Amino acid sequence: MSGGLLVAGTTSDAGKSVLTAGICRWLHRCGVRVAPFKAQNMSNNSAVVVGPDGRGGEIGRAQAMQAAACGIAPDLRFNPVLLKPGSDRSSQVVLLGEAVDTVTAGNYHALRPRLAEAAFAALAELREAYDVVVCEGAGSPAEINLRAGDYVNMGLARHAGLPTIVVGDIDRGGVFASMFGTVALLDPADQALIAGFVINKFRGDLGLLQPGLDMLHRVTGRPTYGVLPWHLDLWLDAEDSLAYGRVLGRPAAPHGADWLDVAVVRLPRISNATDVEALATEPGVRVRLTVEPAELAAADVVVLPGSKSTVADLAWLRETGLADAVLTHAAAGRPVLGICGGFQMLGRAVHDQVESRAGSVPGLGLLPVEVTFEERKTVRQSAGTAAADPGLPVRGYEIHHGYVSSADPTLPPLLTYEDGTGEGAVLGAVCGTHWHGAFESDAFRRRFLTEAARLAGRTGFRVAPDTAFAAARERSLNLLGDMVEEHLDTDALWRLIESGPPAGLPFIPPGAPG
C-alpha cells in the first residue's frame, strides 16, 4: 500500500486532529507504515522533539499525539511550520523545530514561499519513507481570502495530488450547509480532489440524520464516509485550550472521602495547557479552567500555566483581579503551582527585552526569584528526580526564553536534573518549574497531589495507587482507532488512499475562479 490523504475541516476544531489520529491508528493496526503530517500549525501547545543534530525542536503537540497513534517517535518533519501566537497580531515562526522569526499578518507573505518550500520538501521525504502519510489541514480549505498562498489545505493537496475528506462538527450546528459551502467555494481543480465527508460528534438516532446525508450526496455527488459519535473520553492532547470545556475530562470518584479541586487560570496566551491533563486523569481530582477570581477563592489548588506572553498575561492577571485572588490563596497557605510562564510570574521580577520588550516588571512576589529573558530559546527534553524525594524519577520538556537569573540561595528546588542541578523552586505552599509534562510521571504526580491535599486541608483525599497517564493516552488512541473501524467505511478510505480521488467528481457552482 502506498498513498496519502488530506483531512480538511469545515472550521477550526471540527475534529481534524482526532480523525487524523484515528485513521493513523487504524492503518497502524493494519500493519501499514504510516506517518502524520501538518504543513503549518498555529498553536501554543507544542512538544519537544530531538532532531537529527541532537538538539531539541518544537512541533505541534497534536502531531506528537498522532505519531504515537502511528506507533512511531515524533519527527520534526511531521509539522515543519509551527506558528506560535504571541499577540493578536504577531506569531513566532518555528521552522523544522527552530524559532527563526516573528511575523505579523502584514509581513508573513514575504516569508511564506520559504515556509511552503520547506513543507513540500518535508512531505516528499515522508512519502519516500512511509507507506502512507495522513495529512491534516488547518482551519478550513474554504478560507478563500487565503487561497492564493495556501500550502496547508488545497494548496498542499494540489501540490501532492492528495485526495481530501472534509470533516464537520455537527455539535456546532449547520454541518450540512458548511460541508456544501466548503466544496462550492472552491475552484474546479480543488473540487476535483474533495472526495467526500465525515461527520463528527453526532449524538442521537442515526436514522434521523440519514435524509441529510442522502441529500448531501445528491447535491455534491460525494459520499459521507461515516458518522463519528460524540464521546466523553476524547479530551487528552487538545491542540488548543479553547477545545476544553470548563472541566477537563470526566473526573472519576475519589478513592478517599474528599475531592481535590484544581483551578487553572485560562491565560489569554496560555501555552501547553496539556500539562494539567495528567492531573485530571486522577480519580477525585476535578480540574477546571477559569477566568473568575471567585473560582480561585473556592479552589484547593491554583495553577498558573505556561504563557507565550508572560509579561502581557501577568498584566492581564492584575487587570482582572485574578492576581489578587492568587495572592489571597497563597496567603491562606493553600497550594499555588506555576508552570513555565506561570512560574516566571510567581517571582519578584521579570526582565524582558526579548518577548515583550517591556524591560523590568514586578512579578507576584510569591517566590524569591527573578527571571531574565534571553534571545536564544531553550528547547530540550529533561530528566531527573523530585528534589524532595530523589527516588522519584521525573521526565519533562522545556520551551522558554526566560531563565532564573537571581534566586535566594537557600530556596529549595522542585526538581533535580540528572547532573544534580536544581530546577524550579518551593516556598511553603507555592512552587514552580519550567518543566512541561512533569506530571505525566506517575509517582511524582501522586506525591504532588498528596502534598497539595495536605496543604489544602483535604485530609480525606487519597491518590489512586495505579493511575498511569501513558496508559490513559494509549486508551484514548485505541478508542479513536476503534471509532474509525466501527463507524467509517474503511474499505472506501483504503481505496481512496491507494488510488486517489475518484474520477468524474461533479463541479458544484459557483466555485472560485481558477
Please list the active-site residues. Answer: 340, 436
Alpha carbon separation from 98 to 55, 66, 76, 407 (Å, rounded): 10, 21, 9, 29
Residue with cell 486517489: 500
b/e string for 139-152 if b means 16 or more Cβ within 10 A? Answer: bbbbbeeebeebbb
Q: How many CA atoms does the CB half-sphere of 94 hold within 13 Å? A: 30
Asked if residue 172 lies in contact with residue 161, where contact means CB atoms within 8 angstroms, the answer is no
Asked if residue 484 lies in contact with residue 26, where contact means CB atoms within 8 angstroms, the answer is yes
Amino acid identity, residue 34? V
Alpha carbon separation from 215 to 181, 356, 509 (Å, rounded): 14, 52, 16
Asked if residue 510 has a cis previous peptide bond (ω within 30° of 0), the answer is: yes
| Cross-strand bridge partners of residue 381 | 397
Identify how many contiguous H helices and E strands the chain contains and give both numbers: 15, 26
SS3 (DSSP) at 177? helix
Sign of the CA dihedral with 58 first, then 60, 62, and 66 last: negative
> What does residue 195 show for φ and ψ, rounded to 5 degrees?
-90, -25
SS3 (DSSP) at 324? helix
Asked if residue 172 lies in contact with residue 11, where contact means CB atoms within 8 angstroms, the answer is yes
Distance (Å, rounded) from C-alpha 214 to C-alpha 200?
17
Q: How many CA atoms does the CB half-sphere of 295 hold within 13 Å? A: 17
Alpha carbon separation from 403 to 25, 35, 238 (Å, rounded): 39, 35, 27
Distance (Å, rounded) from C-alpha 276 to C-alpha 278?
5
SS3 (DSSP) at 23? helix
